[in-house]
Structure 1
Amino acid sequence: MIKTLMKQIKEYKKSSLATIFFAVIEVVLEIIIPLLMASLIDKGIEAQNMDAVIQYGAFMFGIAICTLLLGFLAGKYAAKSSTGFAANLRDAMYTNIQTFAFSNIDKYSTAGLVTRLTTDVTNVQIAYQMIIRMCIRAPMSLICALAMALMINVELSMIFVGAIVFLVIILGIIMYKAMHYFNEVFPKYDDLNESVQENVVGIRVVKSFVREKHENEKFKKAAQSIYKMFVKAEGILAFNNPAMMCAVYSCILLLSWLGAKSVVAGNLTTGELTSLFSYTMNILMSLMMLSMAFVMITMSLASARRIVEVINEKSDLVSPPQALTSVKDGSIDFNKVTFSYKHGDGEPVLRDVELHIHSGETIGIIGGTGSAKSSLVNLISRLYDVESGSVCVGGEDVRFYDLEVLRDEVAVVLQNNVLFSGTILQNLRWGNESATLEECQDACRLACADEFIQRFEDGYNTYIEQGGTNVSGGQKQRLCIARALLKKPKILILDDSTSAVDTATDASIQKSFEERIPDTTKLIISQRISSVQSADRIIVLNDGIVDGFDTHENLLAGNEIYQTIYETQMKGKEEA
């Protein structure tokens, strides 16, 4: 874990080392001040030597100014290092998430990934700043102060040693007990974020079903769970301060009593006793800083593990060493394919699928809900790998292709259409970054989107709100189809992506496909017979098994499932 985190310091190593350097020099100068104070008292005040008072006072003032400047520089570089470290952590996680296969993404909830990128990184950032500043400054200050105290008086310095041993034991117990709760509390942030995310995304559904009270209760439950865990953790950490105060006051009382005796006995000067009091505060303040740092580090360890988990996650799908870099055509072959979302121990979603599709064909895919239509087409662009058998595109197993090359040749318009905030033109160019306005307009005409875009005041420069909330479902679908067409793919998959458009527009889109992109293999998933009946052939899926694969006429004559769907839909039309 430490090795993975250290790699993300990168260009901020120099500023991290600068922080340590300035902190060390600051401590050295601070340790000198009590010695000068002792000399000022013994050689200046008690000896009634005003020149010595001025001389030592000037030295102390100069050193104080230097420590102030060094503290500022240490703080500045610590802030730069920690924020840069946090930025690199977020970048490393986000970059790795982009490489995830769907199976990797399924392991983490969206809310969980957001928590890791925000709350967890912030915790680690604060802990890192404390490590390079407090965890360097405090131990060194403690050691130097203890060494100086031993030089002044060994017997009285044993008071500090006893306090240090006492606090180390207490802090160790506190950290051990608190760590258990912090390990549990941060995953609960995932539940809280998930509750917020679901509510915001589905706010229209919440309001239409008047479920605000239910959502409030759900959020309160998640928030209360975090509250209870933090109360338990903080309840243990609360022992830190009393233990620290106990050590501080015990040291002061013992030092006052035993030190006064030593001064009276002539074994210790007044100045030396004063410097011992200063070193007492140095030692105990160092311990207090260390305890604060340890508390934060304890909290951040759970966050660090969650961050490293994402950074080290390896994609289940990678390009082979000598990957194919071109796809010959849009032919598709499923050779005895069995597929499960949980490899090895999951229930098969597709079983023994044998299909052979020619390049340029228009293929309809129909079946009941849960018949694995989307799962079937997800295998074509290798969003998942098969359990057994093989899926071939252009005559080659999809596992032999470079992933980017394969997916560039397979355009998918999903069931849940996603538009991003930005103009229509910017959204369309997701399909082809260098597409001209004319190419975008041509793709929109093919997808029957041009006619409604022209009605917008700003045309193709119309701004799309986040999630495409300012366009209708049908308009969103047509824009997504146009975006896919701009890729000029060899295979086009429409996964129930015309469900929100009327049948006339649906027919018009399919006619445009036949006339303008005849060489592209087109797979059309739909619940409507009218959307697939003009296809060259139609796949009928039933519970992950291919029940039929033929033309509309032949299926209507000999496939029971297809007949049932057809009769149900036709009967519904007649009654309407």
Structure 2
Amino acid sequence: MIKLLKGLKPFSLSIIIILIFTFLRTLTELFLPTLMSDIVDIGIVKQDIGYIAKTGAFMLLIAALGGLCSILTSMLSAKTGSAFARNLRNKVFEKIENYSLKEFDEKGTASLITRTTNDITQIQNLVVMLLRMFIRAPLMAIGGIIMAINKNPNLSLIIIVVVVILGIVIGLVASKSIPMFKSMQVKVDKLNLVLRERLTGIRVIRAFNKINHEKKRFNDANKDLTNTAIKVNKLMACLTPILMLLFNFTTIFIIWFGSFKINNGAMQVGDLMAFIQYVSQIMFSLIMLTMIFILIPRASASAIRINEVLNVEPEINDPNDPADKTEKRGYIEFKNVSFRYNNAEGEALEDISFQAEPGEVTAIIGGTGSGKSTLVNLISRFYDVSRGSILIDDVDIRKMSQEYLRSKIGLVPQKAVLFSGTITQNIRFGKEDANKEEIVHACEIAQATEFINDMKDGYDSEISQGGTNISGGQKQRLSIARALVRKPEIYIFDDSFSALDFKTDARLRQALKKETLNDTVIIVAQRVTTVMNADRIIVLDEGRIVGMGTHKELLSSSDVYRQIVSSQLSEEELA
């Protein structure tokens, strides 16, 4: 928690101003009971109307000053808390952006979203409360005790007993509530995960009539969170009645003992009234502290989770002296590369070696789970190899900055990902300063021009989140156009033609061939017709290369490739 609160340093001036206004507000509130006491003991007892009017007007002026300080304190506290939360969200987001896919896999997307939103909101609420009340409450308590002792030292012993009892109660409640608050944040993660899966997979859920099943999953997660929230809120709800009970009993004792002192002439009525006011201020300050204690356990749990995100050292980092200048262009070499996913039983890739050069098309084919997508993910350094090395232009990619490495690559992922915005904005994601001619040319190569022109607003047509308002084939073609507009040295097509019909697939590959004459092209595909004309075909099986060569060479030398081909093509097509 303290580590996160260091982020308040840029707001030091605002905090100092808040402290000044808080101090002034506390002084005005502590001064008012004394003025009231003087009105009773001097003005009313002596029936001095002038004194009452004069002191009353002064009380109004003091109250107005206190009210102004209160308004300014609340405004500045809210503004500072919001700005602090904004900076913290930016810091967490930037940290997450630097994560490798390994860290994403470990933390989980749903948990990272919760930590960036809900957890930071908990910290923000605590900061606002701290600024508004944490300084004011001790000042009020200490000032109230001093003023109460000044009025009657003997009667003030009651306050000490009450504070001790209250401290014990708050300690017991906090010790019970902190584990519950930690549990709540974990359950919020689970609820977000279920909700996210349900919303993103709504088509599959409806197609398989699993709506009731998913409702039960959501209701179970929701009920679990609700039950924990009810338990902890019941616990916290006990504090307020306990405080009120203590305050009422304290008031009874003060009036009881104070009446004897007034009867004996040791105390005046006005002083007793002021004493009760100071006790109420002390109790109110303790209530404020209790409210903060209510927030601290949950905020502490949130702080731990946020620090877990910030303390992660990404597995993939840029070298201190990156080799970002190379003479060659588009050369790829795998040298005895092996890779194992975190906590996996076996290796996803084992002893992979091959070369790919500009002007060549290297195709990768294999059964499901053979490691095709894993292999191309290593080229972009989404993961680091476990053994061996990957060289681009004769430089190990671990010696390049990630930005420079990825500037050389145009990736079309296996799952076409589009963002909310226009078609033009989505394609410019590949190159921010791409002009209209470059965008149109990329779309022509990707065979996307026809369906774009048929849309009402053409290139300014809106794409919904995730591209749900266009077909899978259209999404793939826009993803391909996004990579083409970048004009990279290396193109990676990770099963990017699977949603295209054979006619569009053939036209696209023909257009790509002309566009990428001087570039290195790597194609991951399931269709034999997509890869059979490649300069080099790599056949993967269970993470190992079991064949490499041209289509004709592999038909005679690789049993695995021959099985794949025979499962897709007839004898006449093979001939």
**If the length of structure 2 is used for normalisation, what is the TM-score?**
0.97
Partners in 2 of 1:239 and 1:572 — Cα distance? Answer: 81
Cα distance change on mapping 1:52 and 1:232 into 2, 3 Å: same
Counterparts of 1:76-225 in structure 2, within 5 Å, are: 76-225=75-224
CA deviation after TM superposition for structure 1 residue 11, in Å: 4.1
The alignment covers a number of residue pairs equal to 572
Partners in 1 of 2:13 and 2:301 — Cα distance? Answer: 27
Which amino acid in 1 is paired with 2:2? I
Partners in 2 of 1:457 and 1:61 — Cα distance? Answer: 67
1:386 alignment partner in structure 2:
385
CA deviation after TM superposition for structure 1 residue 326, in Å: 3.2
1:470 alignment partner in structure 2:
469
Partners in 1 of 2:486 and 2:96 — Cα distance? Answer: 23
Partners in 1 of 2:325 and 2:405 — Cα distance? Answer: 8
The alignment partner of 1:156 has SS state of: coil
1:324 alignment partner in structure 2:
323
1:369 alignment partner in structure 2:
368
Counterparts of 1:504-519 in structure 2, within 5 Å, are: 504-519=503-518
Partners in 2 of 1:108 and 1:285 — Cα distance? Answer: 42
- Deviation string 1:485-518 (CA, Å, 9 cap, x unpaired) is 1111111110001000012221222222221211
1:2 alignment partner in structure 2:
2
Tell me if structure 1 keeps the 8 A contact 2:4–2:303. Answer: no
Establish whether residue 337 from structure 1 lines up as the match of residue 337 from structure 2. Answer: yes
Partners in 2 of 1:332 and 1:245 — Cα distance? Answer: 74
- Deviation string 1:528-576 (CA, Å, 9 cap, x unpaired) is 11110000010100111111111111101110000001111114998xx
The alignment partner of 1:540 has SS state of: strand
The alignment partner of 2:533 has SS state of: coil
CA deviation after TM superposition for structure 1 residue 469, in Å: 1.3
CA deviation after TM superposition for structure 1 residue 321, in Å: 0.7
Could you tell which deviates more after superposition, 166-175 or 322-331? 322-331
Cα distance change on mapping 1:458 and 1:151 into 2, 3 Å: same
The alignment partner of 2:493 has SS state of: strand
Establish whether residue 312 from structure 1 lines up as the match of residue 295 from structure 2. Answer: no
Partners in 1 of 2:325 and 2:198 — Cα distance? Answer: 44
The alignment partner of 1:515 has SS state of: helix
1:295 alignment partner in structure 2:
294
The alignment partner of 1:477 has SS state of: helix
Partners in 1 of 2:219 and 2:143 — Cα distance? Answer: 50
Which amino acid in 2 is paired with 1:337? V
Counterparts of 1:388-537 in structure 2, within 5 Å, are: 388-537=387-536
Cα distance change on mapping 1:231 and 1:256 into 2, 3 Å: same
Which amino acid in 1 is paired with 2:435? T
Could you tell which deviates more after superposition, 457-466 or 390-399? 457-466
Which amino acid in 2 is paired with 1:212? I
Partners in 1 of 2:314 and 2:9 — Cα distance? Answer: 24
What RMSD over aligned residues (CA atoms) do the two structures have, in Å? 1.5
Tell me if structure 1 keeps the 8 A contact 2:261–2:267. Answer: yes
The alignment partner of 2:112 has SS state of: helix
Tell me if structure 2 keeps the 8 A contact 1:326–1:405. Answer: no
Partners in 2 of 1:564 and 1:351 — Cα distance? Answer: 22
Partners in 2 of 1:291 and 1:177 — Cα distance? Answer: 15
Counterparts of 1:58-77 in structure 2, within 5 Å, are: 58-77=57-76
Partners in 2 of 1:530 and 1:190 — Cα distance? Answer: 44
Partners in 1 of 2:475 and 2:84 — Cα distance? Answer: 39
The alignment partner of 2:167 has SS state of: helix
CA deviation after TM superposition for structure 1 residue 16, in Å: 2.7
CA deviation after TM superposition for structure 1 residue 346, in Å: 5.1
1:354 alignment partner in structure 2:
353
What stretches of structure 2 of length at least 5 have no aligned partner? none
2:557 alignment partner in structure 1:
558
Tell me if structure 2 keeps the 8 A contact 1:409–1:487. Answer: no
The alignment partner of 2:47 has SS state of: coil
Could you tell which deviates more after superposition, 200-209 or 401-410? 200-209
Which amino acid in 2 is paired with 1:336? N
Partners in 1 of 2:529 and 2:186 — Cα distance? Answer: 47
Tell me if structure 2 keeps the 8 A contact 1:362–1:522. Answer: yes
CA deviation after TM superposition for structure 1 residue 312, in Å: 3.1
CA deviation after TM superposition for structure 1 residue 308, in Å: 2.3
The alignment partner of 1:48 has SS state of: coil
Tell me if structure 2 keeps the 8 A contact 1:5–1:308. Answer: no
CA deviation after TM superposition for structure 1 residue 250, in Å: 1.9
2:43 alignment partner in structure 1:
44
- Deviation string 1:377-402 (CA, Å, 9 cap, x unpaired) is 11111111011110111111000111
The alignment partner of 1:4 has SS state of: helix
CA deviation after TM superposition for structure 1 residue 41, in Å: 1.0
The alignment partner of 1:174 has SS state of: helix
Partners in 1 of 2:538 and 2:19 — Cα distance? Answer: 67
The alignment partner of 1:379 has SS state of: helix
The alignment partner of 1:154 has SS state of: coil
- Deviation string 1:263-303 (CA, Å, 9 cap, x unpaired) is 11111111111110100110111111111111012221111
Partners in 2 of 1:137 and 1:3 — Cα distance? Answer: 23
CA deviation after TM superposition for structure 1 residue 427, in Å: 0.6
The alignment partner of 2:569 has SS state of: helix
Could you tell which deviates more after superposition, 216-225 or 445-454? 445-454
The alignment partner of 1:155 has SS state of: coil
CA deviation after TM superposition for structure 1 residue 424, in Å: 0.7
CA deviation after TM superposition for structure 1 residue 58, in Å: 1.5
Which amino acid in 1 is paired with 2:329? D
The alignment partner of 1:383 has SS state of: coil
Partners in 1 of 2:571 and 2:30 — Cα distance? Answer: 90
Tell me if structure 1 keeps the 8 A contact 2:101–2:383. Answer: yes
Which amino acid in 2 is paired with 1:331? Y
Tell me if structure 1 keeps the 8 A contact 2:547–2:557. Answer: no
The alignment partner of 1:133 has SS state of: helix
CA deviation after TM superposition for structure 1 residue 215, in Å: 1.3
CA deviation after TM superposition for structure 1 residue 316, in Å: 1.6
Tell me if structure 2 keeps the 8 A contact 1:331–1:360. Answer: no
Partners in 2 of 1:326 and 1:196 — Cα distance? Answer: 46
Partners in 2 of 1:58 and 1:360 — Cα distance? Answer: 91
Tell me if structure 2 keeps the 8 A contact 1:420–1:465. Answer: yes
CA deviation after TM superposition for structure 1 residue 358, in Å: 2.2
Partners in 2 of 1:355 and 1:172 — Cα distance? Answer: 65
Which amino acid in 2 is paired with 1:380? I
Partners in 2 of 1:572 and 1:41 — Cα distance? Answer: 111
What stretches of structure 1 of length at least 5 have no aligned partner? none
Identity in percent: 38
Partners in 2 of 1:93 and 1:232 — Cα distance? Answer: 31
CA deviation after TM superposition for structure 1 residue 98, in Å: 1.5
Partners in 2 of 1:324 and 1:506 — Cα distance? Answer: 38
Partners in 2 of 1:370 and 1:424 — Cα distance? Answer: 33
Which amino acid in 2 is paired with 1:142? A
Tell me if structure 1 keeps the 8 A contact 2:427–2:481. Answer: yes
Partners in 1 of 2:9 and 2:364 — Cα distance? Answer: 51
Establish whether residue 246 from structure 1 lines up as the match of residue 259 from structure 2. Answer: no
Partners in 1 of 2:572 and 2:250 — Cα distance? Answer: 91
- Deviation string 1:244-276 (CA, Å, 9 cap, x unpaired) is 123212211110111111111111111111110
Tell me if structure 2 keeps the 8 A contact 1:15–1:80. Answer: no
CA deviation after TM superposition for structure 1 residue 211, in Å: 1.7
Partners in 2 of 1:122 and 1:325 — Cα distance? Answer: 41
CA deviation after TM superposition for structure 1 residue 4, in Å: 3.3
The alignment partner of 1:335 has SS state of: strand
Partners in 1 of 2:535 and 2:345 — Cα distance? Answer: 34
The alignment partner of 1:281 has SS state of: helix
Partners in 2 of 1:430 and 1:545 — Cα distance? Answer: 35
